[in-house]
Protein backbone atom coordinates (compact mmCIF):
# COMPACT_ATOMS: atom_id res chain seq x y z
CA UNK A 1 0.00 0.00 0.00
CA UNK A 2 1.21 3.53 -0.74
CA UNK A 3 2.34 5.41 2.36
CA UNK A 4 1.14 8.89 3.22
CA UNK A 5 4.72 10.16 2.97
CA UNK A 6 5.12 8.80 -0.58
CA UNK A 7 1.85 10.41 -1.68
CA UNK A 8 2.68 13.68 0.08
CA UNK A 9 6.05 13.85 -1.70
CA UNK A 10 4.29 13.36 -5.04
CA UNK A 11 1.70 16.01 -4.18
CA UNK A 12 4.43 18.53 -3.30
CA UNK A 13 6.41 17.80 -6.48
CA UNK A 14 3.21 18.05 -8.55
CA UNK A 15 2.44 21.50 -7.12
CA UNK A 16 5.83 23.02 -8.00
CA UNK A 17 6.45 24.30 -11.51
CA UNK A 18 4.71 24.21 -14.87
CA UNK A 19 3.24 21.27 -16.77
CA UNK A 20 6.04 19.64 -18.79
CA UNK A 21 4.93 16.09 -19.57
CA UNK A 22 3.90 15.80 -23.22
CA UNK A 23 0.95 13.54 -23.95
CA UNK A 24 1.96 10.11 -25.31
CA UNK A 25 -1.12 8.59 -26.99
CA UNK A 26 -2.16 4.99 -26.31
CA UNK A 27 -0.89 2.60 -29.03
CA UNK A 28 -4.45 1.48 -29.88
CA UNK A 29 -8.04 2.36 -29.03
CA UNK A 30 -9.63 -1.02 -28.37
CA UNK A 31 -7.89 -3.27 -25.79
CA UNK A 32 -7.82 -6.72 -27.35
CA UNK A 33 -4.60 -8.46 -26.31
CA UNK A 34 -5.20 -11.60 -24.27
CA UNK A 35 -3.00 -10.62 -21.32
CA UNK A 36 -4.44 -7.10 -21.22
CA UNK A 37 -7.96 -8.46 -21.01
CA UNK A 38 -6.97 -11.13 -18.45
CA UNK A 39 -5.36 -8.56 -16.14
CA UNK A 40 -8.08 -5.97 -16.63
CA UNK A 41 -10.64 -8.62 -15.74
CA UNK A 42 -8.99 -8.64 -12.28
CA UNK A 43 -8.95 -4.82 -12.01
CA UNK A 44 -11.50 -4.98 -9.20
CA UNK A 45 -8.73 -6.42 -6.97
CA UNK A 46 -6.40 -3.53 -7.87
CA UNK A 47 -6.20 0.21 -7.16
CA UNK A 48 -8.44 0.74 -10.19
CA UNK A 49 -11.29 -0.05 -7.82
CA UNK A 50 -10.60 3.41 -6.36
CA UNK A 51 -11.86 5.05 -9.54
CA UNK A 52 -15.03 2.91 -9.58
CA UNK A 53 -15.59 3.67 -5.91
CA UNK A 54 -15.10 7.42 -6.48
CA UNK A 55 -17.74 7.53 -9.24
CA UNK A 56 -20.24 5.36 -7.33
CA UNK A 57 -19.71 7.55 -4.27
CA UNK A 58 -20.31 10.68 -6.38
CA UNK A 59 -23.48 9.12 -7.84
CA UNK A 60 -24.73 8.19 -4.40
CA UNK A 61 -24.60 11.86 -3.42
CA UNK A 62 -26.84 13.02 -6.29
CA UNK A 63 -30.58 13.51 -5.85
CA UNK A 64 -32.25 10.13 -6.21
CA UNK A 65 -34.29 10.80 -9.35
CA UNK A 66 -31.54 9.74 -11.78
CA UNK A 67 -31.50 6.05 -11.02
CA UNK A 68 -34.94 4.93 -12.11
CA UNK A 69 -34.22 4.54 -15.81
CA UNK A 70 -31.70 3.19 -18.31
CA UNK A 71 -27.98 3.75 -17.96
CA UNK A 72 -25.27 3.51 -20.60
CA UNK A 73 -21.68 2.64 -19.63
CA UNK A 74 -19.47 3.56 -22.59
CA UNK A 75 -16.11 1.76 -23.08
CA UNK A 76 -17.18 -0.65 -20.36
CA UNK A 77 -14.19 -3.03 -20.68
CA UNK A 78 -14.77 -6.22 -18.66
CA UNK A 79 -17.80 -4.67 -16.97
CA UNK A 80 -16.63 -4.07 -13.39
CA UNK A 81 -18.33 -0.68 -13.19
CA UNK A 82 -21.26 -1.70 -15.41
CA UNK A 83 -22.14 -4.51 -13.00
CA UNK A 84 -21.50 -2.38 -9.90
CA UNK A 85 -23.93 0.21 -11.25
CA UNK A 86 -26.65 -2.41 -11.73
CA UNK A 87 -25.91 -4.01 -8.37
CA UNK A 88 -25.82 -0.90 -6.21
CA UNK A 89 -28.47 1.26 -7.86
CA UNK A 90 -31.97 0.25 -8.93
CA UNK A 91 -31.46 1.15 -12.61
CA UNK A 92 -34.07 -0.45 -14.86
CA UNK A 93 -31.39 -1.44 -17.38
CA UNK A 94 -27.65 -0.90 -17.74
CA UNK A 95 -26.16 -1.12 -21.24
CA UNK A 96 -22.40 -1.72 -21.44
CA UNK A 97 -20.66 -0.83 -24.70
CA UNK A 98 -17.12 -1.52 -25.89
CA UNK A 99 -15.24 -1.97 -29.15
CA UNK A 100 -13.18 -4.94 -27.94
CA UNK A 101 -14.75 -8.38 -28.40
CA UNK A 102 -12.55 -10.10 -25.76
CA UNK A 103 -13.34 -7.36 -23.22
CA UNK A 104 -17.04 -7.92 -23.88
CA UNK A 105 -16.63 -11.68 -23.44
CA UNK A 106 -15.11 -11.02 -20.01
CA UNK A 107 -17.97 -8.62 -19.25
CA UNK A 108 -20.51 -11.25 -20.32
CA UNK A 109 -18.99 -13.76 -17.88
CA UNK A 110 -19.12 -11.16 -15.08
CA UNK A 111 -22.76 -10.35 -15.81
CA UNK A 112 -23.65 -14.09 -15.65
CA UNK A 113 -21.61 -14.73 -12.47
CA UNK A 114 -23.28 -11.78 -10.75
CA UNK A 115 -26.73 -12.90 -11.92
CA UNK A 116 -27.46 -9.60 -13.66
CA UNK A 117 -28.51 -10.94 -17.10
CA UNK A 118 -32.02 -9.54 -16.77
CA UNK A 119 -30.83 -5.93 -16.36
CA UNK A 120 -27.35 -5.67 -17.90
CA UNK A 121 -26.96 -5.87 -21.68
CA UNK A 122 -23.75 -5.58 -23.66
CA UNK A 123 -23.11 -4.37 -27.17
CA UNK A 124 -20.02 -4.17 -29.35
CA UNK A 125 -19.72 -0.77 -30.98
CA UNK A 126 -17.40 2.14 -31.60
CA UNK A 127 -18.12 5.00 -29.20
CA UNK A 128 -17.34 7.42 -32.01
CA UNK A 129 -20.46 6.21 -33.81
CA UNK A 130 -22.67 6.28 -30.75
CA UNK A 131 -25.07 8.89 -32.13
CA UNK A 132 -26.17 6.37 -34.78
CA UNK A 133 -26.87 3.61 -32.26
CA UNK A 134 -29.50 5.06 -29.95
CA UNK A 135 -32.37 7.47 -30.18
CA UNK A 136 -31.99 10.91 -28.54
CA UNK A 137 -32.89 11.00 -24.83
CA UNK A 138 -32.57 7.22 -24.43
CA UNK A 139 -30.71 7.28 -21.12
CA UNK A 140 -31.16 8.63 -17.62
CA UNK A 141 -27.46 8.22 -16.90
CA UNK A 142 -24.35 7.95 -19.09
CA UNK A 143 -21.02 6.89 -17.58
CA UNK A 144 -17.56 6.11 -18.92
CA UNK A 145 -14.48 5.44 -16.83
CA UNK A 146 -10.78 5.35 -17.63
CA UNK A 147 -11.42 5.65 -21.36
CA UNK A 148 -11.20 9.24 -22.61
CA UNK A 149 -7.41 8.92 -22.83
CA UNK A 150 -7.92 6.18 -25.47
CA UNK A 151 -9.25 8.76 -27.93
CA UNK A 152 -6.80 10.26 -30.35
CA UNK A 153 -7.64 13.91 -30.11
CA UNK A 154 -9.81 16.53 -28.43
CA UNK A 155 -11.99 16.88 -31.53
CA UNK A 156 -13.15 13.28 -31.06
CA UNK A 157 -13.84 13.88 -27.39
CA UNK A 158 -15.82 17.03 -28.12
CA UNK A 159 -17.97 15.05 -30.58
CA UNK A 160 -18.39 12.28 -28.02
CA UNK A 161 -19.53 14.65 -25.27
CA UNK A 162 -21.98 16.36 -27.63
CA UNK A 163 -23.38 12.94 -28.59
CA UNK A 164 -23.75 12.07 -24.89
CA UNK A 165 -25.71 15.26 -24.33
CA UNK A 166 -28.07 14.27 -27.15
CA UNK A 167 -28.55 10.75 -25.78
CA UNK A 168 -29.18 11.66 -22.16
CA UNK A 169 -32.63 12.78 -21.05
CA UNK A 170 -33.03 16.47 -20.15
CA UNK A 171 -33.24 15.52 -16.44
CA UNK A 172 -30.51 12.87 -16.62
CA UNK A 173 -26.82 12.94 -15.70
CA UNK A 174 -23.53 12.27 -17.46
CA UNK A 175 -20.70 11.30 -15.12
CA UNK A 176 -17.32 10.36 -16.62
CA UNK A 177 -13.99 9.74 -14.98
CA UNK A 178 -10.44 9.44 -16.17
CA UNK A 179 -6.85 9.74 -15.03
CA UNK A 180 -4.95 13.04 -15.08
CA UNK A 181 -1.47 13.31 -16.59
CA UNK A 182 0.90 14.63 -13.95
CA UNK A 183 3.36 17.50 -14.39
CA UNK A 184 6.45 15.62 -15.56
CA UNK A 185 7.11 12.20 -17.16
CA UNK A 186 9.06 11.18 -14.00
CA UNK A 187 6.11 12.07 -11.75
CA UNK A 188 3.77 9.93 -13.86
CA UNK A 189 6.18 6.98 -13.59
CA UNK A 190 6.72 7.52 -9.87
CA UNK A 191 2.96 7.63 -9.23
CA UNK A 192 2.52 4.31 -11.04
CA UNK A 193 5.42 2.77 -9.07
CA UNK A 194 3.97 3.97 -5.76
CA UNK A 195 0.41 2.90 -6.45
CA UNK A 196 0.94 -0.23 -8.52
CA UNK A 197 4.41 -1.42 -7.45
CA UNK A 198 2.90 -4.62 -6.05
CA UNK A 199 0.93 -5.52 -9.20
CA UNK A 200 3.66 -7.81 -10.66
CA UNK A 201 3.71 -9.95 -7.47
CA UNK A 202 -0.05 -10.26 -7.81
CA UNK A 203 0.35 -11.46 -11.41
CA UNK A 204 -0.87 -8.10 -12.75
CA UNK A 205 2.30 -6.98 -14.57
CA UNK A 206 0.40 -6.12 -17.75
CA UNK A 207 -2.11 -4.03 -15.78
CA UNK A 208 0.81 -2.06 -14.33
CA UNK A 209 2.21 -1.50 -17.86
CA UNK A 210 -1.23 -0.41 -19.07
CA UNK A 211 -1.63 1.92 -16.08
CA UNK A 212 1.74 3.52 -16.95
CA UNK A 213 0.74 4.00 -20.58
CA UNK A 214 -2.61 5.47 -19.46
CA UNK A 215 -0.96 8.04 -17.16
CA UNK A 216 1.20 9.25 -20.05
CA UNK A 217 -1.80 9.34 -22.40
CA UNK A 218 -4.17 11.01 -19.95
CA UNK A 219 -5.61 14.45 -20.70
CA UNK A 220 -5.12 17.46 -18.48
CA UNK A 221 -8.33 18.92 -17.02
CA UNK A 222 -7.47 22.15 -18.85
CA UNK A 223 -7.32 20.22 -22.15
CA UNK A 224 -10.65 18.48 -21.52
CA UNK A 225 -12.23 21.79 -20.49
CA UNK A 226 -11.83 22.85 -24.16
CA UNK A 227 -14.14 20.01 -25.17
CA UNK A 228 -17.04 20.71 -22.79
CA UNK A 229 -20.28 21.60 -24.58
CA UNK A 230 -21.84 24.90 -23.53
CA UNK A 231 -25.33 26.29 -23.97
CA UNK A 232 -27.12 22.93 -24.23
CA UNK A 233 -29.46 21.08 -21.88
CA UNK A 234 -26.75 20.44 -19.27
CA UNK A 235 -24.13 22.33 -17.32
CA UNK A 236 -20.73 20.70 -17.74
CA UNK A 237 -17.84 20.86 -15.32
CA UNK A 238 -14.66 19.03 -14.44
CA UNK A 239 -13.99 18.17 -10.82
CA UNK A 240 -10.32 17.79 -9.94
CA UNK A 241 -9.04 16.75 -6.50
CA UNK A 242 -6.68 19.23 -4.92
CA UNK A 243 -4.35 16.93 -2.98
CA UNK A 244 -2.95 14.85 -5.80
CA UNK A 245 -4.89 15.42 -9.05
CA UNK A 246 -4.67 11.95 -10.59
CA UNK A 247 -8.36 11.44 -11.33
CA UNK A 248 -10.91 13.83 -12.82
CA UNK A 249 -14.69 13.64 -12.93
CA UNK A 250 -16.35 15.17 -15.97
CA UNK A 251 -19.94 15.86 -15.04
CA UNK A 252 -22.95 17.16 -16.96
CA UNK A 253 -25.69 18.18 -14.58
CA UNK A 254 -29.23 18.71 -15.86
CA UNK A 255 -30.48 22.26 -16.07
CA UNK A 256 -34.04 20.93 -16.13
CA UNK A 257 -34.13 19.81 -12.50
CA UNK A 258 -32.52 22.09 -9.99
CA UNK A 259 -30.38 19.88 -7.89
CA UNK A 260 -29.34 19.92 -4.29
CA UNK A 261 -26.85 17.37 -3.05
CA UNK A 262 -29.10 15.26 -0.86
CA UNK A 263 -27.87 11.84 0.15
CA UNK A 264 -29.67 9.64 -2.36
CA UNK A 265 -28.53 6.18 -1.33
CA UNK A 266 -25.93 4.62 0.92
CA UNK A 267 -22.54 4.90 -0.83
CA UNK A 268 -21.58 1.46 -2.17
CA UNK A 269 -18.49 -0.08 -0.64
CA UNK A 270 -16.30 -1.78 -3.22
CA UNK A 271 -13.69 -2.57 -0.62
CA UNK A 272 -11.42 0.26 -1.81
CA UNK A 273 -10.72 1.21 1.78
CA UNK A 274 -7.44 2.47 3.12
CA UNK A 275 -5.35 5.59 2.89
CA UNK A 276 -5.70 6.18 -0.87
CA UNK A 277 -9.49 6.14 -0.72
CA UNK A 278 -9.69 8.42 2.33
CA UNK A 279 -7.34 10.94 0.71
CA UNK A 280 -9.18 10.77 -2.60
CA UNK A 281 -12.57 11.25 -0.95
CA UNK A 282 -11.28 14.16 1.10
CA UNK A 283 -9.69 15.83 -1.89
CA UNK A 284 -12.83 15.28 -4.01
CA UNK A 285 -14.85 17.04 -1.32
CA UNK A 286 -12.55 20.05 -1.61
CA UNK A 287 -11.98 19.72 -5.36
CA UNK A 288 -11.48 22.55 -7.81
CA UNK A 289 -13.98 22.87 -10.64
CA UNK A 290 -13.44 23.88 -14.26
CA UNK A 291 -16.22 24.92 -16.62
CA UNK A 292 -16.30 25.09 -20.44
CA UNK A 293 -13.57 27.30 -21.95
CA UNK A 294 -14.11 29.86 -24.64
C1 LIG B 1 -8.88 1.29 -19.85
S2 LIG B 1 -10.28 0.41 -20.38
C3 LIG B 1 -11.53 0.93 -19.23
C4 LIG B 1 -12.62 -0.09 -19.06
C5 LIG B 1 -13.69 0.25 -18.04
N6 LIG B 1 -14.39 1.48 -18.36
C7 LIG B 1 -13.12 0.32 -16.65
O8 LIG B 1 -12.87 1.43 -16.14
O9 LIG B 1 -12.92 -0.75 -16.07
C10 LIG B 1 -10.72 1.31 -21.85
C11 LIG B 1 -11.74 0.57 -22.69
O12 LIG B 1 -12.16 1.44 -23.74
C13 LIG B 1 -12.38 0.64 -24.89
N14 LIG B 1 -12.38 1.54 -26.06
C15 LIG B 1 -11.36 2.31 -26.50
N16 LIG B 1 -11.75 3.03 -27.55
C17 LIG B 1 -13.05 2.71 -27.80
C18 LIG B 1 -14.00 3.13 -28.76
N19 LIG B 1 -13.70 4.02 -29.70
N20 LIG B 1 -15.24 2.62 -28.70
C21 LIG B 1 -15.58 1.71 -27.73
N22 LIG B 1 -14.70 1.26 -26.81
C23 LIG B 1 -13.45 1.76 -26.85
C24 LIG B 1 -11.26 -0.36 -24.84
O25 LIG B 1 -11.51 -1.51 -25.64
C26 LIG B 1 -11.20 -0.68 -23.36
O27 LIG B 1 -12.02 -1.77 -23.03
Dump pLDDT digits (tens) for 221-263.
999 999 999 989 999 999 999 888 999 999 999 986 655 444 4
For atom 10 of ligand 1, which residue has the closest CA? 147
Torsional sign, CA 198, 201, 202, 205: positive
- Compute CA distances 170 → 57, 161, 257, whole Å: 23, 15, 8
C-alpha span between 32 and 268 (Å, rounded): 30
- Compute CA distances 28 → 80, 97, 99, 148, 155, whole Å: 21, 17, 11, 13, 17
Distance (Å) from CA 195 to ligand 1 centroid: 21
Query: H helices of the chain, where?
Result: 4-15, 34-40, 49-60, 80-88, 101-113, 154-167, 185-196, 205-217, 221-225, 275-285
Buried b (16+ CB within 10 A) or exposed e, 39-69: bbbbbbebbbbbbbbbbbbbbbebbeebbeb
DSSP class of residue 228 equals -
Report pLDDT for 31: 87
| 68-84 pLDDT tens trace | 799 999 999 999 999 99
User: CB–CB of 26/217 below 8 Å?
Assistant: yes
To 5 degrees, how large is the angle CA 140–CA 146–CA 147?
Answer: 80
Confidence of residue 220 (pLDDT cuts 50, 70, 90): very high
C-alpha span between 178 and 54 (Å, rounded): 11
* 110 within ligand 1 shell (Cβ under 6 A): no
More confident residue, 278 or 79: 79
Q: From the CA of 128, give the closest atom in ligand 1.
A: 19
Confidence of residue 273 (pLDDT cuts 50, 70, 90): low
DSSP class of residue 195 equals H
Sequence-ordered list of residues with C-beta below 8 angstroms from that of 16, at least 6 positions apart, any chain: none
C-alpha span between 10 and 194 (Å, rounded): 9
* 103 within ligand 1 shell (Cβ under 6 A): yes
Mutate which of 99, 131, 213 for ligand 1 pocket (most atoms within 8 A of beta carbon): 99
Q: From the CA of 127, give the closest atom in ligand 1.
A: 20
Distance (Å) from CA 75 to ligand 1 centroid: 4
Q: Which of 279, 222, 233 is nearest to 256 (CA)?
A: 233
Confidence of residue 1 (pLDDT cuts 50, 70, 90): low
Domain 4-16+28-290 has CATH 3.90.180.10: no
Mutate which of 30, 34, 270 for ligand 1 pocket (most atoms within 8 A of beta carbon): 30
Amino acid sequence: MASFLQLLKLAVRQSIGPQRAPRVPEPSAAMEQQQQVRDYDRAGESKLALSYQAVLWFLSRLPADWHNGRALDVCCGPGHFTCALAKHFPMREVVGMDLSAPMLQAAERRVCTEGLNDRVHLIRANALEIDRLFRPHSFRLITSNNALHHFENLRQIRALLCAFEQLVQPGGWIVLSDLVRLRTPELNDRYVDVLAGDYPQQGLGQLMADFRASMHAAWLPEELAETLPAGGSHRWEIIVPRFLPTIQLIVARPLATQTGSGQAVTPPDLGASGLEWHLLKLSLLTARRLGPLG
